[in-house]
Structures are given as structure tokens and as C-alpha cells.
A and B are shown apart, each in its own frame.
Chain A
């Protein structure tokens, strides 16, 4: 194993252990060390964000240089990014102009995408039985319809009595909640073992591959 990889692994494992033990055991030295590391993490995350922006610039500059299809959109993106960055640095993020940019550009675009999502999801539900024609898919669709009908008041009828008062709460608060908790327990166990693999140095998302030495 290369020395750089070993060095990275030692730092990652030691830091992970300090954070883990410091979370559970309230020794003053561990708590202080944990707070210091957390402060470093915040600074590093900000630096990483800045590097990410350079990555975004590099990708779109390459698109423009190689005259790829849609290069004009890359040009607009770079222009918008630089203008927003300069205004933000100059006037500070809490300035009224920054709020205006957010409210008039970012918010409508994201809201439009959200609206598109409603169409996409309806289409996906319609296609579900074509994709997977089995009992579970039928149950999935019927449940979704019951929840929708129980939530939204119907024209001229209003809330459907039994559906809105009895069936929908039973599905949402008993059946769905129980299933969701089961899935969340699985996710939590998966997260725990994934974290432990990183602490053991078996997974190294920071470059060096532990299997290289084994080959």
C-alpha cells in the first residue's frame, strides 16, 4: 500500500473513532476534540463547495470550447453564476437584490420542476402495471388511489365520509407507518455497517483502494 493511502486511512479512521466515541462518552477532552474537528469539517465543507464550483465552471467551459450541442446554455450558466457570485460577494447574501434574484429566478424554476414532477409521477403510476404486472403493484396503486381520494375533497360531495375518516388514517397511520418503520430500521442498520466498514478501513472513499494490496 502506498504511504499516502496509509496516511489517509490512519487520519480517517482516527478522526472517525474520536467523533464516534466523543458522541457517546462525555469526557471533556473528547468533547473538545470533537468540537474542534467539527469546526474543521465546516471549513473544509465550505472549501469543497468552492472547489465544486470550479468543477462546474470547468465542465461548462469545456462544453463551450469543444462546441458541443447546447453550448449556449453553458455560456448562460457561467454568466449567471459569475454575476450572482459577484453580486453576492459585493452586496452580501442578505441584500434585497439577492433575495430578489432568488425569488424571481431560482424559486419559479424549482416550482416549475416540482409541477413537472406531478405529471411525471402520474405517468409513472399509469405505466406501473405495464412494467410490473403483479399483485403487489395492484395493491400499491389501490393504496395510492385510496389515500388520494381520502385526502382531496370531491366536487359537490366534499370529504368522502368513511374513506376520509376511517380508511385513509388507518392506511397512513397504521399500515404505512409500520412498513416505513421497518424500512427505516433496515436503512439505519445499513448506515451503521457502512460507517463501520469505513472505520475499519475496508471502504476508503478518499482514494486508496484497500484491495490493491491484496491483488
Chain B
């Protein structure tokens, strides 16, 4: 193993130890995190959906589980589970769209296991849908869902590219509230221009904590903060050593 691989493995092990330790230490207390406006708006939208009996549309993007973007898809699936649980009292279950076969199967499984199926008579296997396999065919397939199903809010969380602009535009035309985040940089720039409160950077992965904090979710955010500080220190020390001519 070369030193880069060793450092990577060390970082993973350190993160795992930190996460397990923080979960053990903070079993009974929940740490406070900064307010993210997008999640506050989403909580309002969920309440409105339950009161109105309308449905939510959760778009998981076109990333797959076997690609480097799988973490964004996993974050989207976690969000789908939370939203499905929170809207369990609503007359209409959420509808989930994705652009990958495996993610569609998992989103179907998530909707089924989150209790929505038992509580709602409206649930069918078609609540989770594969809308297209290429970026633009995915967006083209998701647009009719946003139009025909009359969702009260659209949650776009996962791996999107520039095609996300078509979805946010459709949401705006439908006068629905939108929460959107992607792991893709061009998509984040587009979301900044087209959505009221976009999720930028790692905020995409914090959804679990902000909607319903569990020890592991809170711990993972704290671990991110610790690692970020370590990286900042590393960059500063590296820059100083470079200036001093040591590196």
C-alpha cells in the first residue's frame, strides 16, 4: 500500500472510531447544529402536505449505486424514508423518481418499509418510478410527474447535472416549494440561481440529522466538522512548509 492509500485508510478508520465514540458518548443528548433555511422550509411543506392531503415528489436524480455518486443517492434514499414516515398520516403517499434501476428498487423498498404502505390505501408499486436512464431522459420523464401528480413540494436530492434546471423551472411554474441539493458542482451553481434555498456542498448529506436526528446522524455531522478542521490545519501547515522550502 502506498502512502496515499495508507492515509486514506487511516482517515476512514479514524472517522469510524470517532463516529462510534460520539454515538456512545452522546446517546442521551442531541448536539445543536446551525439552522439551514432549506430544511425549515421543508418542514413547513411537509405539514402543509399532510393538512392538504397532497403528495410530495422526491426526485433521487440519475446517479447509480455502482458509481462514485452513490453517496448522494444514499442520502436521497434516507431523505425519502424520513419524508415517507413524516407524511404517513397524509392521504397520498410520496412519489419517488429516479434514473437507475437499482435506486428505483431501493426507493420502492424504502416506501414499503417506512410504514406508508400499511397506513395508506393509495400506495402502489408505481409510487417509485424509473423515468429515464440518461440525464435528459430522466428529467423529461420526471417533468410529467411534477405536472400531473400535483405535488405540493418537490424534493430534488441526489446526483443531478445541469438538467436539474428543467426540474426547478417546472417546480417554479407549478408554484410548488422546492428543496434541492446535488453533489455535482455545475448543478449546485444552477440550483443557487434557480431555487430559493439550495443545499450547497455537504448540506446534502445532513438531511437525516435535520429532519429527525438519530445518534449516528448527529455523530456523522460532528465527525465531518472535526475532519474539516483537520484538513484546514493540514492545508495551512502544508502551505507554511512549502513557503519555508521544506516541502
The answer to whether A and B belong to the same complex is yes
Number of interface residues of A (CB under 8 A): 68
Contacts of A125 in B (CB 8 A): 193
Query: Given A56-B129, A124-B169, A140-B192: A197 and B217 within 8 A (CB)?
Result: yes
Are B74 and A50 in contact, CB atoms less than 8 angstroms apart? no
Contacts of B66 in A (CB 8 A): 41-42, 45
Contacts of A88 in B (CB 8 A): none
Are A183 and B12 in contact, CB atoms less than 8 angstroms apart? no
Cα A56 to Cα B131 with chains together (Å): 7
Q: Does A132 contact B (CB under 8 A)?
A: yes
Interface string of A28-70 (1 = CB under 8 A from B): 0000000000000110110111111101101100100000111
Cα A147 to Cα B214 with chains together (Å): 43
Residue of A nearest to B197 (CB): A132
Are A58 and B126 in contact, CB atoms less than 8 angstroms apart? yes
Cα A26 to Cα B5 with chains together (Å): 11
Question: In the complex, what's the smallest C-beta–C-beta distance from A15 to chain B, in angstroms?
Answer: 12
Interface residues of B in 150-207 (CB under 8 A from A): 162-163, 165-166, 168-169, 183, 185, 188, 190, 192-194, 196, 200-202, 204-206
Are B137 and A110 in contact, CB atoms less than 8 angstroms apart? yes
Q: Helix, strand, loop or mixed for chain B's interface?
A: helix
Q: Does B8 contact A (CB under 8 A)?
A: yes
> Which residue of the partner chain, among A26, A42, A70, A206, contacts B106 with CB atoms under 8 Å?
A206
Contacts of A189 in B (CB 8 A): 202, 224, 227-228
Residue of B nearest to A26 (CB): B1
Partner-contacting stretch, out of B13-21, B28-36, B39-47, B51-59: B13-21
Query: Hey, which bits of chain B sit against chain A, CB under 8 A?
Result: 1, 5-6, 8-9, 11-12, 15-16, 19-20, 64-66, 71-72, 74-75, 77-78, 81, 100-102, 104-106, 108-110, 112-114, 124-126, 128-131, 133-134, 136-137, 139-140, 144, 148, 162-163, 165-166, 168-169, 183, 185, 188, 190, 192-194, 196, 200-202, 204-206, 208, 214, 216-217, 220-221, 223-224, 227-228, 231
Q: Does A116 contact B (CB under 8 A)?
A: yes
Contacts of B206 in A (CB 8 A): 190
Question: In the complex, what's the smallest C-beta–C-beta distance from A191 to chain B, in angstroms?
Answer: 4
The contact sample of 7 A-B pairs, CB cut-off 8 A, is: A45-B101, A52-B105, A70-B144, A106-B134, A124-B190, A183-B201, A186-B228
Question: In the complex, what's the smallest C-beta–C-beta distance from A17 to chain B, in angstroms?
Answer: 10
Cα A47 to Cα B122 with chains together (Å): 28
Query: Given A41-B66, A45-B66: A185 and B194 within 8 A (CB)?
Result: no
Question: In the complex, what's the smallest C-beta–C-beta distance from B23 to chain A, in angstroms?
Answer: 8
> Which residue of the partner chain, among A41, A56, A180, A202, contacts B214 with CB atoms under 8 Å?
A202
Partner-contacting stretch, out of A89-97, A149-157, A162-170, A207-215: A207-215
Residue of A nearest to B183 (CB): A187
Query: Given A59-B126, A120-B166, A124-B194: A209 and B113 within 8 A (CB)?
Result: yes
Are B196 and A131 in contact, CB atoms less than 8 angstroms apart? yes
Contacts of A203 in B (CB 8 A): 74, 78, 208, 216
Cα A70 to Cα B147 with chains together (Å): 11
Question: In the complex, what's the smallest C-beta–C-beta distance from B218 to chain A, in angstroms?
Answer: 11
